[in-house]
Amino acid sequence: MSKTFTTYLESPVGTLELKTSEDAVLAVIFVENTENSDTELPEIAKALVKQLKGYFDGSLLKFDLKLDPQGTDFQKRVWKKLTNIDFGKKASYQDMANKLGDPKVIRAAASANGKNPISIIIPCHRVIGKDGSLTGYAGGLHRKKWLLEHENRIANGVLELF
């Protein structure tokens, strides 16, 4: 198994724990507490920090990083589909199930969405209820709301209130 590197980033919506291997992003997770960061970081970790800062300051609309989320084959299929939801756009859980080719997998798709280990970059926050409501987000609904409003403001120049 390859070495894992950990660092932290203070964002407008809380602290993010960033985990990478030598060449891929493994996790971006909201945390309440930090531990020691690795002092020597690979280039992928430095690029991750730079791109996340760009996302939060509004100068980056699309991430360009090698991702290696750990999960089942089905979860990986869901996470791959999530990366196709453009910045400033939203999709429903039903849309996700339909894109996976089976409208009946809505609960499984929602479960996989909730287990996404790479928040923001694999944009699970862009998935909402069919009626437009904000539904579960591992990082907390207040963060989901902030992320959606942030993207909407930049992409469309407007603020959408939920």
Q: Compute CA 39 distance to the chain's CA centroid, rounded to the nearest angstrom.
A: 25
Is 124 annotated in the active site?
yes
Decide if 159 contacts 119 (C-beta within 8 A).
Answer: no
Please tell me the distance from the alpha carbon of residue 136 to that of residue 156, in angstroms, as a whole number.
24
Give the H/E segment covering residue 7: strand 5-11
Q: Which of 28, 82, 124, 148 is catalytic?
A: 124
Q: Residue 88 — left, alpha, or beta (φ > 0 → left; ψ -120 to 50 → alpha)?
A: left
Q: Distance of alpha carbon 21 from its chain centroid, rounded?
A: 18
Sequential DSSP letters for 31-56: ESS--PPPSS--HHHHHHHHHHHHHH
Catalytic sites, residue numbers: 124
